[in-house]
Structure 1
Amino acid sequence: MHGRSSPESSIPSATFVVPVEPPADAPERTLGGVIDTLGRHALHVITDGGRLPDHVGEVVLHGPGEPLPAAESGILLLTGNPATHRQAIETVRGAAAAGYRAVVVKAFGDDLVRLTQVADETRVALLTTPDEMAWRHLDALISSSKKPAFSGDTDRFAAIGLGDLFALANAIASSVGGAITIEDPTGRVIAYSNLPHQDIDEIRRLGILGRQTPDRPTNYEEYQAVLRSESPVYFESPSPEYASRMAIAVRAGSEALGLIWVLTDRPPVVARAELVLADAARATTLHLLRARGQRDPERARRTEALRLLLDGAVAPRSAAVQLGIKPDTPSVVLVIAPVGDNVEPILAASRIVDLVTLYCEAWHSSALCVTDSGVVYALLPSRTVDEPSPRLLKLAQDLAATIQRSGHLDVLVGIGSCAAALADVPESRAMADRVLAVLSGRMSRSEPSARVASVEQVRTEVVLRTVANQGAAVESQLLGPVRAIREHDRLHGTEYAESLLTYLSSFGDAVRAAQALNIHENTMRYRIRRIETMFDLSLEDGDEILATWLQLRLLRLID
């Protein structure tokens, strides 16, 4: 945790990444070990299939109708299927053949006798998870619980009750030898240690009092350094008045859940403190996941339902029950993406999701937001199927302006197509993603462009990008003249491709094309004649003109 601006604290501190390597013989976790770690609140054994002593590998989320990937020793999370459905039974058989050790289902009150029989026949462990458990949350829990520890003392924090973050903070502080805080990715202090023999400095005192890390110019860079590193990062104090610090990110898979900060010189921390801190980060993962799920279980369930709906992995009627809205409710999806140099997308998305939620709930009380891979998706129920675009655009523009003003963060906002019912929400999400790709592409090419757009405003480029994604502009599909023109430009520094594209986009008007390229019209006509002669291109053939223009335009779009 870092401090408020002051003459001393504004001096950049020295930063060192402390390497932590697991021993080569780090033990793998068994299925029984995972179940014991998580407890019955997460996993319940219906039949173990004799697999409890077996080591387990990756966790795979599997939706109905999806191909089942091979996963030696894997754990399969069977989403979207009633456990008694024939398809679920066949999936269990397929999981056994593909090498899985266990299959996890939700019972929803159904009798699992037949599924249990199949699991016993195929020697696969059949587990259930509570109906209200979010699948992605369970995925993160299992992934965290089966990671091997870096040191031999793997149980140093095992006695702490899951979710008791202040007791965990004191346990970590006692083990590492210095006062610690546990923070979320935005710097909010979640818990802190309070051991009498460990001193703190003014920076730590202000953070505890304000429940938020005090602001200072180097905060962003230092938090980024921690979140990018897999090992603890050491920050040497620029002044005796302030303590030196070491920090490590707490992760569930690739998702940053928070950070642990330890004061390293009041008193000095124990030898090989970086190993203790690495153990502490793994233990803290389970606690933060549990705390996040308990903070607002109803919102957590709705958020997970939205995530599955956006992916098309849940039936609309089932999603409607969990979201608390009718299946035929019109809606639209927005995607909000942080942009800029040195922006860590996952951290930035976690910073803005609460603000996005506030804005969207002002639009409609049933609106809901979720973060995914560094962006924020918002589902906005509408009053009618043709919700007026100006109102949506105004909401998105105001949201982007507020994020920039309050969070000093630029965002792009893509507005998807209007979904007539929840069944159409995945298509609205896909369209929002395509709009975002258009805005991102324009920004990367330094083209003047708005930061907010709807499908209607960029529909032409959306169509072109869709065609490009289908392979119309891959090297193997290029027309001979197009390939030859590009190669000639590359070798000789000519601009035939750009000249031809501009000419075709001007419908063969040499004067207009010359003005666009800022050259003389006779030069334009000369270039076109040369292109036709050198590259065997006929501009009298309408189909060839269309195909040539399309490929040149797509290449400009994706280059």
Structure 2
Amino acid sequence: MDSPTLSDLLDVLGGSSVRAVASPGGLGVRVGEVLLYDADAPLPNAPGAVLLAVGIRPPAAGPLLHAAAAAGMAAVVVRGADGPLSAAEQAGIALLAVDEDAAWHRVHLLLSSAAGARAGGPSSATSAAGDLFALADAIAAAVGGATAIEDPRQRILAYSTVPGQAVDEDRRQGILGLQVPESPDNAEQYRALFAAGEPLRLPALDGDNLPRLAVAVRAGGETLGSLWVVDDGGLVPDAEDALAQAASTAALLLLRSRAAQELGRHLGGDLLRRVLDGTVDPATAAHRLGLGAGTDPVRVAAFVPAGASTAPDIERTALRLLDLVRLQCDARYGRHACVLVDGVVYALLPAVGERGAARHRQLAQDIVDRAGQALRVPVRAGLGALAAGLARAVDSRDDADLVLRCVDAERPVALVEDIQARVALLRLGELVSGRREFEGGTWARVLTHDAAHGTDYARTVRAWLDAGCDMAGAAERLAVHPNTCRYRLRQAREHVGLELDDPDERLVLWLQARLAGGV
């Protein structure tokens, strides 16, 4: 299949992570492998390559651009926005830019994965998963026992289907739930396995199960997962060596699977960010997010940590919260879109088949409870109104943001419907903020008089209005005698000119008290 073009790569990545700064040959240039620049090694002859200018500041990248063009490369990627445009034009090579704080290894991962995904290559998540199942079958045939491939969290990623091989109860239950059953003995076996540097033979956990031959899968010192083979006594004599060799192949496939997952999460997050900003075509975004036509109802949920103090703590906590929200939403809805924007984690919740808002509220509450325990900081959640399709998700996001400003320790989770009045007042306050006709008038005169003479008119008027113009209720709120309230209001009429008998005056006065100059 033809290799992708620069245009293809930018399209896959959404145009925000990697930007085209200059493209003298157009964006239809075919690209191949993605290379990291090494100042201590000669530049290879690599037609179509994309070169990451590691260690080169953009203003000093001119010589590298000319050298890359001479080597037949398609593009050079610099970090930052001040790339040498004239040098790129003169060299006739495309110049791409990434954010100043972008990590080069992550840029390499995204570009490599995007190139493979666009070309339909083996880096796609579906192909990687299929390769893992094929590997499990190959191991089972070579070693002589039913095989499972797991990640470090004991989730089963693939399993063999070779006929005639013995299985046991743990194998059956694990495949049914794609998760290894938990038990203290099981946990001890995993600790021993991950501490070992070679395949281990592990005894059966109980009478319903068989022994195992297992090995940890590692790459560069990082544990990527493990291979498990059911041992019914019929494994081949060199089973340990065969399994150790298989672990090397599994490491490559697991790395590729991770790259595909990271790319998918990145693209999904970038698309959701643009959906919530209203800067992307809803139909296109729905297709890429796997949401069909995008006309099904959705709700936006927003989560924010409320306890971190320093900037590094806030960022670290927000990233951990993103992982937790993504995990919970994936467990409830399968494929899902979550994104972190300005310290707030947003999740797009499907509403087809939901019974009202109860399940969304419960999911948010579960996430807040789990996050509070795992992150050791309080978390707040706001849920917007149900949106009639992806095109209205931006409205639900606006609602969720307003709800986040209203929730507190006593009520950490709320839907916009739960606190509609508070949200409406908050929105109204934003609309009238700074309007001179709303900031002046009677309420301003009340506040000025209190400040000048030490009176308590503002608090008394506010209590009386909040009590529905009931004198006894106002007195109870202020913890004074009703006659004291009557006296203060009478004095306020005389000294400030209050017109409390006029319903319009009362309405404006109450709104000003609640929004503009509350006490």
TM (norm. structure 1) is 0.49
1:372 to 336, 341, 365: 341
Mapped to 1, the partners of 2:416 and 2:361 lie a distance apart of 11
Matched, 1:468 2:429: yes
Shift of 1:391: 1.9
Specify the alignment match of 1:357 in structure 2: 326
Q: How does 1:187-266 map to 2 (within 5 A)?
A: none
Please tell me whether the aligned partners of residues 345 and 373 of structure 1 are also in contact (alpha carbons under 8 angstroms).
no
Matched, 1:485 2:485: no
Mapped to 2, the partners of 1:368 and 1:517 lie a distance apart of 49
Matched, 1:336 2:303: yes
Matched, 1:508 2:475: no
Mapped to 2, the partners of 1:126 and 1:504 lie a distance apart of 71
Matched, 1:388 2:349: no
Please tell me whether the aligned partners of residues 449 and 496 of structure 2 are also in contact (alpha carbons under 8 angstroms).
no
Mapped to 2, the partners of 1:34 and 1:408 lie a distance apart of 50
Aligned residues: 312
Please tell me whether the aligned partners of residues 58 and 80 of structure 2 are also in contact (alpha carbons under 8 angstroms).
no
Specify the alignment match of 2:399 in structure 1: 431
Please tell me whether the aligned partners of residues 479 and 548 of structure 1 are also in contact (alpha carbons under 8 angstroms).
no
Shift of 1:473: 6.1
RMSD: 4.2
Mapped to 1, the partners of 2:404 and 2:93 lie a distance apart of 41
Specify the alignment match of 1:109 in structure 2: none
Please tell me whether the aligned partners of residues 334 and 379 of structure 1 are also in contact (alpha carbons under 8 angstroms).
yes
Please tell me whether the aligned partners of residues 79 and 100 of structure 2 are also in contact (alpha carbons under 8 angstroms).
no
Please tell me whether the aligned partners of residues 45 and 127 of structure 1 are also in contact (alpha carbons under 8 angstroms).
yes
Secondary structure, aligned partner of 2:275: helix
CA gap of 1:34–1:467, structure 2 versus 1, over 3 A, is farther
Shift of 1:493: 4.2
Shift of 1:366: 3.0
Deviations 1:381-425 (A, max 9, x none): 1115x7512222111111111111222121000011111100011
2:488 to 527, 551, 555: 527
Secondary structure, aligned partner of 1:371: strand
Mapped to 2, the partners of 1:374 and 1:511 lie a distance apart of 46
Mapped to 2, the partners of 1:355 and 1:34 lie a distance apart of 45
Mapped to 1, the partners of 2:285 and 2:485 lie a distance apart of 58
Please tell me whether the aligned partners of residues 473 and 551 of structure 1 are also in contact (alpha carbons under 8 angstroms).
no
Mapped to 2, the partners of 1:526 and 1:74 lie a distance apart of 73
Secondary structure, aligned partner of 1:418: coil
Shift of 1:162: 5.3
Please tell me whether the aligned partners of residues 363 and 380 of structure 1 are also in contact (alpha carbons under 8 angstroms).
no
CA gap of 1:413–1:142, structure 2 versus 1, over 3 A, is closer
Please tell me whether the aligned partners of residues 298 and 348 of structure 2 are also in contact (alpha carbons under 8 angstroms).
yes
CA gap of 1:396–1:162, structure 2 versus 1, over 3 A, is closer
Mapped to 1, the partners of 2:301 and 2:307 lie a distance apart of 20
Mapped to 1, the partners of 2:290 and 2:452 lie a distance apart of 61
Matched, 1:404 2:372: yes
The amino acid of 1:432's aligned partner reads: A
Shift of 1:533: 1.6
The amino acid of 1:335's aligned partner reads: A
Secondary structure, aligned partner of 1:545: helix
Q: How does 1:305-344 map to 2 (within 5 A)?
A: 305-326=271-292, 327-340=294-307, 342=309, 344=313
CA gap of 1:417–1:495, structure 2 versus 1, over 3 A, is same
- Structure number with the bigger relative contact order (C-alpha 8 A, sep ≥ 6) is 1
Shift of 1:505: 2.0
Specify the alignment match of 1:143 in structure 2: 100
Mapped to 2, the partners of 1:476 and 1:410 lie a distance apart of 40
Mapped to 2, the partners of 1:127 and 1:516 lie a distance apart of 70
Secondary structure, aligned partner of 2:385: strand
Secondary structure, aligned partner of 2:301: strand
Mapped to 1, the partners of 2:281 and 2:64 lie a distance apart of 29
CA gap of 1:322–1:556, structure 2 versus 1, over 3 A, is farther
Please tell me whether the aligned partners of residues 346 and 375 of structure 1 are also in contact (alpha carbons under 8 angstroms).
no
2:59 to 30, 40, 47: 30
Shift of 1:455: 0.2
Specify the alignment match of 2:316 in structure 1: 347
Q: Which runs of 5+ in 1 are unaligned?
A: 1-26, 47-51, 60-72, 76-100, 103-119, 130-137, 148-156, 164-208, 211-290
Shift of 1:360: 1.1
2:413 to 445, 452, 456: 452
The amino acid of 2:319's aligned partner reads: S
The amino acid of 2:100's aligned partner reads: S
Specify the alignment match of 1:554 in structure 2: 515
Please tell me whether the aligned partners of residues 439 and 516 of structure 2 are also in contact (alpha carbons under 8 angstroms).
no
Shift of 1:545: 1.2
TM (norm. structure 2) is 0.52
Shift of 1:58: 7.5
Please tell me whether the aligned partners of residues 501 and 549 of structure 1 are also in contact (alpha carbons under 8 angstroms).
yes
Mapped to 2, the partners of 1:435 and 1:380 lie a distance apart of 16
The amino acid of 1:451's aligned partner reads: P
CA gap of 1:44–1:422, structure 2 versus 1, over 3 A, is farther
Mapped to 2, the partners of 1:36 and 1:303 lie a distance apart of 32
Please tell me whether the aligned partners of residues 332 and 381 of structure 1 are also in contact (alpha carbons under 8 angstroms).
yes
Please tell me whether the aligned partners of residues 346 and 373 of structure 1 are also in contact (alpha carbons under 8 angstroms).
no
Shift of 1:485: 1.6
Mapped to 1, the partners of 2:64 and 2:390 lie a distance apart of 36
Mapped to 1, the partners of 2:400 and 2:507 lie a distance apart of 28
Please tell me whether the aligned partners of residues 339 and 409 of structure 1 are also in contact (alpha carbons under 8 angstroms).
yes
Please tell me whether the aligned partners of residues 336 and 414 of structure 1 are also in contact (alpha carbons under 8 angstroms).
yes
Specify the alignment match of 2:270 in structure 1: 304
Secondary structure, aligned partner of 1:296: helix
Shift of 1:504: 1.3
Please tell me whether the aligned partners of residues 514 and 521 of structure 1 are also in contact (alpha carbons under 8 angstroms).
yes
